[in-house]
């Protein structure tokens, strides 16, 4: 009976079993044989930890994709499992609930985006002003599908207290990460309140333009607004560095 096409056929060299006396790696039945050495990992064989990480990554990627394409309301663990190509049991083992999946996926996304921003800025030509460089890096990030996934969560959190708690925590994580980068990029902003204000205003402005772009990607006003931001960014930063605003009270 022939083996199925998917079966792996192994071949063995005959000299492994013959001519024992001429093969120093073989022993006769009466000899004690060489001491067993450490087990070697077979080439291409993944460890359990590697398989676990791969499964987690597939689930996280599928969650973000599902959020961006389907929206939060239509994102389900069933759809995530289908997109990830893993079993339902694997999903439950790593992330028991939809909220667990979404939280882990967004946290992973935020860490990647912060590191991406930092590395991209370090690779920018030195003749570009820090403000222009920051805008050139942030805009593509905000106009990508990952921002749409984040936007879906923000909108859904308006009526979901459990999700709002997650989004609030993740937003704080994102703000803290970019605030650290602002310290590196704009050392002239020595006042913490000023730096945080400029960071918040910058992202609020760009996110507002992104929302407008979602409605009409060909809106000519987008290009005009972006050009205006680029042209005035350095002046805004210099003006902010010379002033120290009073701490803002949290809006209710």
Q: Which domains does the chain have, with CATH numbers?
A: 105-239 (1.10.357)
pLDDT of residue 93: 93
Cα separation, 87 vs 55, in Å, equals 10
pLDDT of residue 182: 81
Cα separation, 143 vs 217, in Å, equals 10
Q: What is the pLDDT along the chain (252 residues), one digit of tens a residue?
A: 444 444 333 332 323 323 334 444 434 444 454 455 555 555 557 788 899 999 999 999 999 899 888 888 889 999 999 999 999 999 999 999 998 998 898 888 888 778 877 887 777 777 778 787 778 788 887 887 778 888 888 888 899 888 898 889 888 888 888 888 888 788 877 888 888 888 888 888 888 999 889 888 889 998 899 888 888 888 887 787 777 655 555 555
Token digits for 105?
């996926």
Residue 15 and residue 23 in contact, taking contact as beta carbons nearer than 8 Å: yes
Task: Give Cα 131 to chain centroid, integer Å.
Answer: 24
């Amino acid at each position: 009976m022939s083996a199925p096409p998917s079966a792996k056929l192994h071949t063995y060299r005959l000299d492994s079993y013959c001519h024992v006396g001429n093969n120093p790696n073989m022993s006769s039945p009466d000899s004690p044989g060489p001491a067993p050495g450490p087990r070697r990992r077979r080439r291409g064989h993944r460890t359990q930890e590697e398989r676990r990480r791969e499964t987690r990554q597939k689930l996280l990627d599928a969650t973000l994709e599902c959020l961006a394409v389907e929206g939060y309301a239509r994102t389900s663990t069933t759809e995530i499992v289908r997109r990830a190509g893993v079993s339902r049991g694997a999903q439950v083992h790593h992330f028991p609930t939809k909220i667990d999946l979404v939280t882990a996926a967004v946290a992973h996304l935020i860490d990647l985006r912060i590191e991406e921003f930092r590395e991209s800025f370090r690779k920018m030509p030195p003749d570009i002003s820090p403000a222009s460089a920051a805008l050139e890096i942030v805009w593509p990030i905000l106009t990508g599908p990952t921002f749409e996934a984040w936007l879906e969560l923000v909108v859904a959190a308006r009526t979901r207290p459990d999700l709002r708690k997650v989004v609030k925590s993740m937003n704080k994580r994102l703000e803290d990460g970019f605030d650290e980068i602002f310290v590196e990029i704009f050392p002239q902003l020595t006042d913490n309140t000023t730096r945080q204000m400029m960071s918040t205003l910058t992202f609020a402005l760009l996110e507002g333009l992104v929302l407008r772009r979602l409605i009409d990607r060909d809106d000519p006003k987008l290009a005009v607004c972006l050009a205006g931001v680029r042209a005035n960014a350095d002046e805004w930063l210099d003006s902010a560095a010379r002033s120290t605003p009073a701490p803002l009270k949290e809006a209710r």
